[in-house]
Amino acid sequence: MLEPKASYQELYDTFYWHIPEHYNIGLDVCDKWADREPERLALIHKSRDGFVSQYSFAQVRDLANQTANLFRSVGLNRGDRIGIFLPQTPETAYAHVAAYKMAAVAVPLFTLFGPDALEYRINNAGISAILTDKSGVEKLKGLAGRLEPLKYIFCIDSAETGIIDFHKEREKQSPEFEAVQTHAEDPAFLIFTSGTTGNPKGALHAHRSLLGHIPGVDMAYNFLPRKADRFWTPADWAWIGGLYDVLMPAWHHGISVVSHRFEKFNAEEAFKLMADFSVRNSFLPPTALKFMRVVKNPKERFAYKLRSVVSAGESLGAELLEWGKETFGLTINEFYGQTEYNIFVSSCSAIMPTKPGIIGRAAPGHTVAILDGQGKELPRGEIGQIAAKTPNPIAFLGYWQNPTATQEKYFGDWLLTGDQGSMDDEGYIKFVGRNDDLITSGGYRIGPGEIENCLLSHRAVKMAAVVGVPDPERTEIVKAFIILEEELEGSELLKRELQDYVKTRLSAHEYPRLIDFVDSFPMTTTGKIMRRELRKS
């Protein structure tokens, strides 16, 4: 917990880390509150059909314990990777708690992933078991024989041959479970992050990671907890933003969370949801804010009363910040981080002025610098790469089975973000842009490599290059440049076929909204595609 102070400098100067030798996320976010206040409200869930259910921390503990016992009953143990292939549901939340208490490694998987994306992640991470729903089962069935490590599929809403009826079997288990003693350094969760070349990389995090999140999270939400606080975000819990900027920090503080994710984001319904469930704190990605901005007269139509709103992924700009003040009656705080080292820069309107175009200052407990190409700190005002000093509790343990990529993420003690920025004399950091080829679209960071590999597997594609191009709503959209196989000609029909191919095999958020058929690519003398030149096309 971050103790409020009168100024940023006092907040930063008086903070110190206290990371115990033994620490378990599941005990912290659930059992701690179940023991102290069993009836304390943990979760309000609105299902897609509109049914609303509520769960106390004691109920979450019992459900998590039954889940852990069920996982144990099939032979899952410490260190085993358990995939959680679900949207925002109660099962998602308490399955995480169960995995942590077992000392297993939870692997969140985005529900929009198609077969190629799933196959790679399941095989790469060595996922032994997956908890999913009927739609997830159908995707996994299409990969029969291609998922060597996967032994068990648990389904929350159907039962068929070879699939374990999760709720039926869970209910047979005891609600008592003795958590495995874990060190703070023990692995807890694995989240795949997009890379600029090749396949995605799994960022492995320790149990201490949650404690590492708390200063930046508390700062961004103008200090937690406060009376009547309640969280909701449209961000999926399969990503670190939804899971560790909202759900887990909220439960660390004993704050209730609303779970509901629209199949497709609806701005009017978002306002209504926050009003109906008395949401006080929300993480709203920039794309969500842009969609909400076009809703007419929301203050007159919806009785929401937010205390804090945070956003991340791009600088919001003066106009959107002004709209936030008018619409919510508060200043939207921005923060910055990555899957490997999350939320280490933040603004905090409670104690420091907001500057348009500025993502904030270093959160307490973090040292941030702007480095040149040789890893040296640059003078204030100069543009270079944003970097964070390690070791630090929030830093990932490394990329799963990829020591070379892990080593490349560092320059000495500095973790390199791959983002360009500058720092002014007061320590405010301005985000300038990527210095690699990651694409920021709709709040997601998308690596071109996986999309290119997918396109190359299509019968018509000889070569493919993918870039991000500016878009007023999504920041960037994915654009693909395609060299077709000999004697084939490009057409609108083929464009749609390629778009659907990526959409169904990878994910709906990764497909190229724009496709150009070309005869050649701009190349370096060493044979690398010059994506910066393609972005100018």
186 — pLDDT class (breaks 50, 70, 90): very high
Q: What is the pLDDT of residue 526?
A: 42
Which pLDDT tens digit goes with each residue over 355-364? 887 899 999 9
CA 79 to each of CA 26, 105, 221: distance values in angstroms, whole numbers, following the listed order: 15, 6, 33
Which pLDDT tens digit goes with each residue over 30-46? 999 999 999 999 999 99
How far apart, in whole angstroms, are the C-alpha atoms of residue 403 and residue 398? 7
Task: Give residues with Cβ within 8 angstroms of 484, minimum separation 6.
Answer: 460, 461, 462, 490, 517
Which pLDDT tens digit goes with each residue over 92-140? 999 999 999 999 999 999 998 999 999 999 999 999 999 999 999 999 9
Lowest mean pLDDT among 67-71, 129-133, 193-197: 193-197
Lowest mean pLDDT among 94-98, 254-258, 459-463, 478-482: 459-463
| pTM for the full predicted model | 0.86
Q: What is the pLDDT of residue 435?
A: 61
Which pLDDT tens digit goes with each residue over 423-469? 999 999 988 766 667 788 887 878 787 798 789 889 999 888 899 99
How far apart, in whole angstroms, are the C-alpha atoms of residue 295 and residue 43? 28
Which pLDDT tens digit goes with each residue over 367-396? 999 999 899 999 999 989 999 999 999 999
User: Does the pLDDT value for residue 524 go beyond 70?
Assistant: no
User: Does the pLDDT value for residue 527 go beyond 60?
Assistant: no
What mean pLDDT comes out for the span 147-155?
97
525 — pLDDT class (breaks 50, 70, 90): very low
Burial class of residue 40 (count of CB atoms within 10 Å of its CB; 0-12, 13-18, 19+): middle
**Hey, what are 4's tokens?**
């409020």
What mean pLDDT comes out for the span 54-62?
98
How far apart, in whole angstroms, are the C-alpha atoms of residue 233 and residue 214? 17
Domains of the chain, start order: 24-36+61-182 (3.40.50.980), 439-535 (3.30.300.30)
